[in-house]
């Protein structure tokens, strides 16, 4: 891995106008490149910077919500002077670090096996391991509770429970890791498949042992993907509210997000305090972000040269059976177990009736059908918003990644950081930021109180996925490809669309599927931002729970997971068939 | 080109979503029960032709949205699950004074110059009848060894009603109440998030009872066949009223008043009763134990209410909440 600075010196002319005399084509290319960057910056400004700026202002000006800029920093002393703050911060870091470690421990080996070897039922595992993402975290946590608590389903079946284990720090790490596992698994498997195999084969030809080639070639080449996904996991872990609130609050383990949520729900509402805690969260994520950049600096990962990629996966040989068993085990724990609890509850007439044939009933599904189309409307709204968010973040993510990785635009680090930030913001903070930003009287028009505000919220919250995935993939694509296109007269945009996009498609599509899955079940921001009269799936489910109808909520979750899974399956199969053609 | 079109598309989409909701519609922000607000809105539209846009969340989210919107308020009417929020908004001068003619039979304790109860609920012990524990009759019974590690309580920091119970018990019994809280703590009572989160483990049987659950939700579960019983403690409990109020900033004050009248009408109160809440009006039948049948703790005075922050802090310290 040579130093990146070397490569910079030979970047294509478009970004180094002074080095060569600009020809007409090049001038256009430069303009296009600037236009691209400009548009990207503008979009990020609207989507991310604006709500974040208002959160920042709210932390400084306690009366901002009332439209006054009085008493700047009036609240800061009280919030920062709270002795619990240090503990909350340390707990948050501890939780993030442990989830990252465990997700890496499970996700990297699994992703590697999937990316490099011919794993039996590979497609099945891909789908099954995507399911945890379609189960809202609070539902998954509830599923685990009903599975493992005293008198839970496991005890009803085999007579043992794991209550104390579940309601603890370890329990939170366990459940959360299973929720975020797809991020690492997909990033690693796609990254490995794209790069690791062929060069490792070269290594083998040159006499390197299998392990040596893996450690020296495949693994290092996949680092961008691994590091990027682990950064996402860290951000998700410190941002997630439902799981720690449901599982660890009892054990006296509190994190920044629970503190933020509390300031938002405890009367009187403490907007400035919550904003200040949010900024601490953002700072933590920025540290992780800087750490990741440091880790990646001075290396290049260019492996895609445009030559036909050898997609042949290696045979597992005698390891076939153990590897299959490993995948089955992870799928069983991560997906099947919580899903079983959800399905069991959905089909139980009453929760107190337990697992009994006499308690089996369609009643909850029938109740959903009887809501007069409300449930289906909610599903439609969520799917449409998920699709919209996936498309918008996909395009934007690609643009951000391109500007950051392939251009030398000044401020691209800022662009990169800006695209990362939202993932560290709890949904409720983005929600408040968006209200503060868009409910101002001076806007001539505003998306506030329309479904557009939900789309903005989802795009803001989920932008980091496509950005991270596309960046990791872009870092593996050699500059020579684009340069070749430019030499043949293609502008920046044409090169991007015709050369880079096809190469990025698998990673980008994986990220967009994740966005779709997460957006179609997002709860916390929706709870705050839902325009009057608009209902999403998560709101529907949450209202059932609030109403004491756990069974109906779970039935709706089952329907949603079924619909989203089959939709995503269709998309995946369709793209695969297209690729095969 | 495609990319540029997409960017253009993005801008267009952002522009297109700025369509505004129906003009002249009434905007109601409400905290639960889920179906009730929608039904009231539908009924109201049928009888007056006025559209009602409903935003529904828990009290915390409703208040957070109100607070964040303070510079440019959107809501005309707020229905909260916590009486405190009405008192506080009133103190801030945000509320429009209005006494509905239909509020005549609403008891004085549940109305004020600019707020009135939509309905009432009581805080109760919810007990799993199959839990193998003796049927509790009063709060103190939950400190018995039979209930060791088997009691949940909604977090008073997240559940406004649980805080009202805490406050009501302290106001009525002072030190005795704190002995109770300490004994419950010693007996392993768990503090478990908002109301629903405290209740689910009791339904499945992981816990035997909830200390201070909102009764109407539990009555609904019981009606759908769950093996639970809702017990109103013999020493008394807190009646929690759900206040309705009109914001002073409302641009549709006349319609808002009509809506309040409608909720307090026979038809509206029947809808309220159908959700197992106690109707605010004493002359409307309820399908559950009414307020007369429940022993209520004496009402709190202003000083009691003012001390709630300190109370919550003391409780949080006792239970090591952060």
For residue range B212-236, list pLDDT tens digits in order: 999 999 999 999 999 999 999 999 9
pLDDT tens per residue across span A148-175: 999 999 999 999 898 888 989 999 999 9
CB contact under 8 A, A269 and B19: no
Q: Whole-angstrom Cα distance, residue B104 to residue A437? A: 43
Q: Give the CA distances from residue A183 to residues A191, A251, A507, B130, in Å, rounded to whole numbers and listed in that order.
A: 12, 28, 11, 43
Name B244's bridge partners: B79, B116
Statement to judge: residues B115 and B125 lie in one domain: no
Choose among B53, B158, B225: nearest Cβ to A350: B225
Question: Phi, psi (5° rounding) for residue A301?
Answer: -130, 25
Give the per-residue SS3 of A406-471: HCCCCCHHHHHHHHHHHHHCCHHHHHHHHHHHHCCCCCCCCCCCCHHHHHHHHHHHHCHHHHHHHH
> pLDDT band at residue B124, thresholds of 50, 70 and 90?
very high
CATH number, domain of B177, equals 3.40.190.10
Give the residue range(s) of CATH 1.10.3720.10 domains in chain A: 33-64+359-581, 83-129+166-303+316-323
Statement to judge: residues B205 and B288 lie in one domain: no
pLDDT tens per residue across span A77-106: 777 777 788 999 999 999 999 999 999 999
B259 and B45 Cβ atoms separated by less than 8 Å: no
CB contact under 8 A, A353 and B225: yes
Provide the pLDDT for residue B13.
47
Name B118's bridge partners: none
Statement to judge: residues B112 and B197 lie in one domain: no
Whether B22 has a pLDDT exceeding 90, the answer reads no
CATH number of A83-129+166-303+316-323: 1.10.3720.10
**What mean pLDDT is predicted for residues A223-234?**
85
Provide the pLDDT for residue A323.
93
User: Rounded to a whole number, what is the distance in Å from the CA of A232 to chain B's nearest CA?
Assistant: 25
Provide the pLDDT for residue B7.
47
Statement to judge: residues B131 and B210 lie in one domain: yes
> pLDDT band at residue B19, thresholds of 50, 70 and 90?
very low
B241 and B168 Cβ atoms separated by less than 8 Å: no
**What mean pLDDT is predicted for residues A6-20?**
39
Statement to judge: residues B106 and B226 lie in one domain: no
Whether A4 has a pLDDT exceeding 50, the answer reads no
Half-sphere exposure of A106 (CA within 13 A, CB side): 25
Average of per-residue pLDDT values in chain A: 83
Confirm or reject contact between A144 and chain B (CB < 8 A): no
Confirm or reject contact between B121 and chain A (CB < 8 A): no
Q: B305, exposed or middle or buried, with CB in 10 Å at 0-12, 13-18, 19+?
A: middle
Statement to judge: residues B147 and B251 lie in one domain: no
A253 and A244 Cβ atoms separated by less than 8 Å: yes
Is there a domain that residue B8 lies in?
A: no
Provide the pLDDT for residue B203.
94
Q: Whole-angstrom Cα distance, residue A528 to residue A379? A: 19
Range of the domain at B253: 26-120+241-292
Which chain B residues are Cβ-neighbours of A544 within 8 angstroms? 34
CB contact under 8 A, B190 and A84: no
| Length of chain A counted residue by residue | 581
pLDDT tens per residue across span A516-548: 988 998 888 888 888 887 889 998 988 888 888
- Residue B303 tokens read as 């000083």
Q: Whole-angstrom Cα distance, residue A386 to residue A454? A: 10
The answer, as to whether pTM is greater than 0.90, is no
> pLDDT band at residue B23, thresholds of 50, 70 and 90?
low
pLDDT: is B29 or A116 the higher one? B29
Calculate what percentage of chain A has a pLDDT beyond 70. Answer: 88
Is there a domain that residue B6 lies in?
A: no
Q: In this predicted structure, which of A27-36, A135-144, A517-526 has the lowest mean pLDDT?
A: A27-36
Confirm or reject contact between B93 and chain A (CB < 8 A): no
Statement to judge: residues B49 and B106 lie in one domain: yes
Q: Is B96 helix (H, G, I), strand (E, B) or coil?
A: coil
Confirm or reject contact between A392 and chain B (CB < 8 A): yes
| Length of chain B counted residue by residue | 322
**What mean pLDDT is predicted for residues B13-26?**
54
A485 and A494 Cβ atoms separated by less than 8 Å: yes
Provide the pLDDT for residue A581.
63
Helices within B209-307 (DSSP H only): 215-223, 253-263, 266-274, 302-306
**What mean pLDDT is predicted for residues A561-570?**
88
CATH superfamily name and code, A33-64+359-581: MetI-like (1.10.3720.10)
pLDDT: is A66 or B179 the higher one? B179
Name B278's bridge partners: B120
pLDDT: is B204 or A501 the higher one? B204
Q: Give the CA distances from residue A464 to residues A47, A233, A284, A389, B150, in Å, rounded to whole numbers and listed in that order.
A: 12, 11, 16, 12, 43
Task: Please report the ipTM that was assigned to this predicted complex.
Answer: 0.85
Provide the pLDDT for residue A475.
80
Q: How many domains does chain B have?
A: 2
A508 and A469 Cβ atoms separated by less than 8 Å: yes
């Amino acid at each position: 891995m040579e130093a990146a600075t070397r490569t910079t010196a030979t970047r294509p002319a478009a970004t180094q106008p002074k080095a060569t005399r600009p020809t007409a084509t090049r001038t256009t290319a430069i303009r296009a490149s600037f236009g691209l960057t400009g548009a990207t910056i503008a979009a990020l400004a609207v989507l991310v910077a604006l709500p974040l700026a208002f959160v920042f202002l709210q932390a400084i000006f306690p009366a901002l919500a009332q439209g006054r800029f009085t008493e700047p920093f009036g609240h800061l002393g009280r919030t920062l002077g709270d002795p619990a703050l240090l503990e909350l911060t340390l707990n948050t870091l501890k939780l993030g670090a442990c989830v990252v470690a465990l997700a890496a421990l499970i996700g990297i080996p699994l992703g590697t096996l999937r990316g490099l070897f011919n794993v039996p039922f590979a497609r099945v595992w891909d789908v099954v391991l995507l399911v945890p993402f379609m189960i809202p975290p609070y539902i998954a946590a509830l599923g685990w509770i009903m599975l493992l608590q005293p008198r839970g389903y496991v005890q009803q079946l085999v007579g043992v429970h794991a209550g104390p284990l579940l309601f603890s720090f370890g329990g939170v790490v366990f459940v959360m890791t299973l929720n975020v596992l797809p991020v690492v698994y997909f990033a690693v498997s796609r990254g490995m498949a794209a790069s690791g195999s062929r060069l490792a084969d070269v290594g083998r030809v040159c006499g390197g042992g299998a392990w040596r080639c893996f450690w020296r070639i495949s693994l290092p080449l996949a680092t961008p993907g691994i590091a990027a996904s682990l950064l996402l996991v860290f951000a998700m872990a410190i941002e997630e509210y439902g799981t720690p609130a449901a599982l660890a609050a009892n054990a006296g383990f509190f994190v920044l997000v629970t503190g933020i949520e509390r300031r938002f729900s405890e009367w009187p509402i403490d907007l400035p305090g919550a904003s200040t805690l949010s900024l601490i969260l953002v700072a933590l994520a920025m540290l992780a972000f800087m750490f990741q950049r440091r880790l990646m600096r001075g290396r290049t990962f260019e492996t895609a040269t445009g030559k036909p990629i050898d997609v042949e996966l290696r045979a597992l040989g005698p390891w076939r059976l153990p590897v299959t068993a490993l995948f089955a085990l992870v799928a069983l724990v991560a997906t099947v177990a919580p899903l079983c609890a959800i399905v069991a509850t959905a089909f139980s007439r009453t929760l107190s009736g337990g697992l009994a044939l006499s308690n089996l009933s369609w009643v909850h599904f029938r109740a959903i059908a009887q809501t007069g189309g409300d449930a289906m409307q909610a599903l439609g709204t969520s799917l449409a918003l998920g699709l919209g968010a996936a498309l918008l973040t996909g395009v934007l993510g690609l643009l951000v990644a391109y500007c950051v990785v392939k251009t030398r635009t000044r401020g691209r680090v800022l662009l990169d950081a800006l695209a990362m930030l939202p993932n560290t913001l709890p949904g409720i903070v983005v929600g408040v930021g968006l209200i503060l930003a868009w409910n101002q009287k001076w806007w001539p028009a505003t998306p506030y109180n329309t479904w557009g505000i939900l789309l903005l919220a989802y795009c803001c919250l989920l932008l980091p996925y496509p950005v991270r995935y596309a960046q990791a993939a872009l870092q593996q694509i050699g500059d020579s490809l684009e340069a070749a296109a430019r030499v043949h007269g293609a502008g920046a945009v044409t090169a991007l669309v015709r050369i880079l996009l096809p190469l990025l498609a698998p990673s980008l599509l994986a990220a967009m599927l994740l966005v779709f899955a997460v957006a179609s079940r997002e709860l916390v921001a929706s709870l705050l931002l839902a325009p009057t009269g608009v209902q999403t799936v998560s709101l529907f489910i949450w209202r059932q729970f609030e109403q004491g109808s756990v069974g109906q909520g779970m039935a709706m979750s089952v329907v949603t997971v079924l619909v989203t899974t089959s939709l995503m399956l269709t998309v995946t199969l369709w793209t695969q068939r297209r690729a095969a053609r | 080109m495609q990319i540029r079109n997409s960017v253009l598309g993005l801008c267009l989409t952002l522009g297109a979503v700025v369509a505004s909701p129906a003009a002249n519609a009434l905007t109601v922000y409400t905290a639960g029960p889920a179906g009730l607000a929608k039904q009231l809105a539908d009924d109201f539209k049928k009888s007056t032709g006025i559209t009602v846009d409903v935003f529904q969340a828990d009290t915390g989210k409703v208040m957070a949205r109100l607070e964040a919107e303070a510079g440019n308020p959107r809501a005309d009417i707020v229905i909260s699950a916590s009486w405190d929020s009405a008192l506080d908004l009133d103190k801030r001068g945000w509320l429009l004074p209005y006494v509905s003619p239909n509020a005549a039979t609403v008891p004085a304790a549940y109305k004020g110059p600019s707020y009135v109860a939509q309905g009432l609920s009581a805080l109760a012990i919810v007990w799993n009848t199959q839990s193998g524990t003796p049927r509790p009759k009063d709060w103190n019974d939950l400190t018995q060894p039979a209930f060791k590690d088997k009691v949940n309580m909604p977090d008073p920091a997240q559940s406004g009603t649980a805080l009202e119970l805490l406050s009501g018990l302290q106001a009525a019994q002072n030190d005795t109440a704190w002995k109770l809280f300490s004994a419950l703590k010693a007996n392993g009572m768990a503090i478990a998030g908002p109301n629903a989160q405290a209740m689910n483990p009791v339904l499945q049987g992981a816990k035997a009872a909830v200390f201070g659950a909102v009764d109407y939700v539990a009555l609904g579960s019981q009606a759908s066949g769950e093996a639970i019983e809702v017990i109103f403690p013999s020493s008394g409990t807190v009646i929690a009223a759900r206040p309705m109020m009109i914001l002073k900033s409302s641009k549709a004050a006349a319609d808002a008043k009509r809506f309040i009248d409608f909720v307090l009408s026979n038809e509206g109160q029947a809808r309220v009763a159908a959700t197992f809440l106690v109707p605010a009006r004493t002359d409307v039948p309820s399908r559950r134990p009414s307020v007369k049948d429940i022993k209520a703790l004496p009402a709190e005075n202003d000083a009691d209410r003012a001390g709630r922050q300190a109370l919550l802090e003391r409780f949080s310290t006792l239970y090591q909440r952060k």
